[in-house]
Structure 1
Amino acid sequence: MPTSEKLFALGQHVLPQHMLSRLMGSITRCRNSVFKDAMIRSFIKLYGVDMAQAAEPDPTAYGCFNEFFTRALKPETRPIAPEPDAVVCPADGTVSQIGAITEGRIIQAKGKNFSVAELLGGHAEQAELFANGRFATIYLSPRDYHRLHMPLDGTLKEMTHVPGKLFSVNAATTANIPNLFARNERVIALFDTEVGPMALVLVGAIFVASIETVWHGVVTPPTSTTVRTWHYPENPPVLSRGQEMGRFNMGSTIIVLFGDNVVEWEESLVPDSIVRMGQSLARLTHQTAQSSDHRQLTA
């Protein structure tokens, strides 16, 4: 790893991460037409954004930069994998790591890993649901589509907000800062699916002004100093495969967790693979309705 990348990663320890993120949130929500149009046009040029894919292709039609950043796409640009046993990729981005959960730990980068229990806010019982299971970590760069979608049909059982740091989640930082995803602020959504429990972990990062879900709205900010959990024992949200479940207001990472022997990742997917929302991320190892012997998430 080049020295410059190590310095970039280590320098983040002294940054006022939350203050900078709040400032970015204010800037991206500025509704001054001259300022926001200039910011949007500069971003499109810098990152080569294809506005032909956007549901609203006119850059000046967005009320602020954040509305542009979280723009909807035309449905035909992100078709949902038609195979009934396909597990849908939840986001546009790059595969950071993908594979098996080994002894309760997830690979972060070469030579670095972290525990599922730490990722899930210290909940050992929840971590046990994913013992020997499968994980996929997808990094969303600034140029990517920033809405998140359901890999499978799911019934929401619980959502937890875990406060934390806001380190960058790019490759240089993940290679240098231990336990990065278990240290950063995150929102954890636990679902029941036809193949048992599924967790979608939305990891915050510096300049990620907020994380929101379709059933709750903005979860953060404001940033709490304590872990907050919401349970859904009655009339829980039910979301379909491919349906939007949340979004990042600026870029970040989503981690998908499944239990033991229920999915197999597509063989073509390896670290640094480019993925698009809607493509097949994995295949179910069996195509059956959820049976009574599946482990259930506690309400």
Structure 2
Amino acid sequence: MSLTTRLTHVLPHRLLSSLARRLAYSEDARTSAWLIDTVTRRFGVDLSEAEQSDPRGYSSFNAFFTRALREGARVAEADPRALLMPADGRISQAGPIGSGDGAGRIFQAKGQSFTAAELLADPGYARVFHGGLFATVYLSPRDYHRVHMPWTGTLLETVHVPGRLFSVGPAAVAHIPRLFARNERLVCHFDTGFGPMAMVMVGAMLVSGVETVWSGIEIPGYGHSVRRTDYRGRGITLERFAEMARFNYGSTVIVLLPPGVAELAPGLEAESPVRLGQRLATLRG
């Protein structure tokens, strides 16, 4: 384990993230310009894909980081049976959710795993995903930071789960046990034409917030207990490929699908680059 990863165990996660949030939302022109230029240069951000391609056209670093793409920069896979990749980034892992003796277990990295029950903070509901599929997509600082729907779904409930804010970079994922089930996160449950689908927005070190299209800012405030919000009967339906949420710094989204409904697209191996709208999985039948 690297020294940097070891240090993340003792650093004040929420304090650092709160400070980062203050910087990200600052509308001081010099501060935002310095942050935008630093990230653009260090991570090779391609602003030609952005709706606003001028780095000085953003009022704050957060406005830059949550930037919209220009029309046509991403398109949805044409096959109507294709579930879509929810974000730009890289596959952290993708594969089956355990069943039988390994019921509900989700692979994190070599020697590391966690359970759907831990991730969702709901052992009962987690059972509907045993034997199903998962895909974990890591968004680096260079990526487009809005998350879109893999399939049309009606929002049932969100669950804000408190936790740490470990880095979700590859080194941390490889060495911190149960990382995604320990970090602060927002679990979004949808009902779809094939059954339940969960989308988990995982917070991380220096992530200043998670926002959804239906209620705005969800994180922060940081939680101290699990908080559930019931959206049943409110008619919040999001179409396939529609925006659902966004991060305010690099992080991770995890998609959970129930058993027997789909097959993952070939080639979704760890660290493989992916783009919003490409095929994530294909519905059976």
| 8 Å Cα contact 2:83-2:279 kept in structure 1 | yes
Q: Distance in 2 between matches of 1:34 and 1:190?
A: 41
Counterpart mapping for 1:182-261 below 5 A: 182-261=181-260
Amino acid in the other structure paired with 2:5:
A
TM-score (structure 2 length as normaliser): 0.97
- 1:50-85 alpha-carbon deviations (Å, 9 max, x no partner): 111000111111110000001000131111111100
Deviation, structure 1 residue 41: 1.9
- 1:81-124 alpha-carbon deviations (Å, 9 max, x no partner): 11100110000010000000012100000111111000001x11
Amino acid in the other structure paired with 1:100:
P
TM-score (structure 1 length as normaliser): 0.92
Q: Does 2:83 align with 1:64?
A: no
Q: Distance in 2 between matches of 1:231 and 1:75?
A: 33
- 1:175-196 alpha-carbon deviations (Å, 9 max, x no partner): 1111111000000000011110
Q: Secondary structure at the match of 1:98?
A: strand
Gaps of 5+ in 1: 287-299
Q: Does 2:49 align with 1:50?
A: no
Q: Does 2:103 align with 1:107?
A: no
Q: Percent sequence identity over matched residues?
A: 47
Q: Secondary structure at the match of 2:218?
A: strand
Q: Distance in 1 between matches of 2:132 and 2:276?
A: 22
Q: Does 2:164 align with 1:168?
A: no
Q: Distance in 2 between matches of 1:256 and 1:267?
A: 16
What number of residue pairs does the alignment pair up? 281
Deviation, structure 1 residue 233: 2.1
Amino acid in the other structure paired with 1:97:
Q
**How large is the RMSD of aligned CA atoms in angstroms?**
0.9
| 8 Å Cα contact 2:113-2:178 kept in structure 1 | yes
Deviation, structure 1 residue 211: 0.6
Deviation, structure 1 residue 8: 2.0
Q: Distance in 2 between matches of 1:236 and 1:117?
A: 27
| 8 Å Cα contact 1:157-1:236 kept in structure 2 | no
Counterpart mapping for 1:1-299 below 5 A: 3=1, 5=2, 7-102=3-98, 103-121=103-121, 123-286=122-285
- 1:4-51 alpha-carbon deviations (Å, 9 max, x no partner): x2x322211110000000000000111011221222122212211111
Q: Distance in 2 between matches of 1:99 and 1:224?
A: 30
Q: Distance in 2 between matches of 1:203 and 1:23?
A: 19
Displacement over 3 Å in runs of 4+: none
Amino acid in the other structure paired with 2:66:
T
| 8 Å Cα contact 1:151-1:242 kept in structure 2 | yes
Amino acid in the other structure paired with 1:85:
R
| 8 Å Cα contact 2:87-2:146 kept in structure 1 | yes
| 8 Å Cα contact 2:39-2:141 kept in structure 1 | no
Q: Distance in 1 between matches of 2:270 and 2:217?
A: 30
Q: Secondary structure at the match of 2:126?
A: helix
Deviation, structure 1 residue 174: 0.9
| 8 Å Cα contact 2:158-2:187 kept in structure 1 | yes
Deviation, structure 1 residue 125: 1.6
Amino acid in the other structure paired with 1:27:
L
Deviation, structure 1 residue 222: 1.0
Deviation, structure 1 residue 168: 0.3
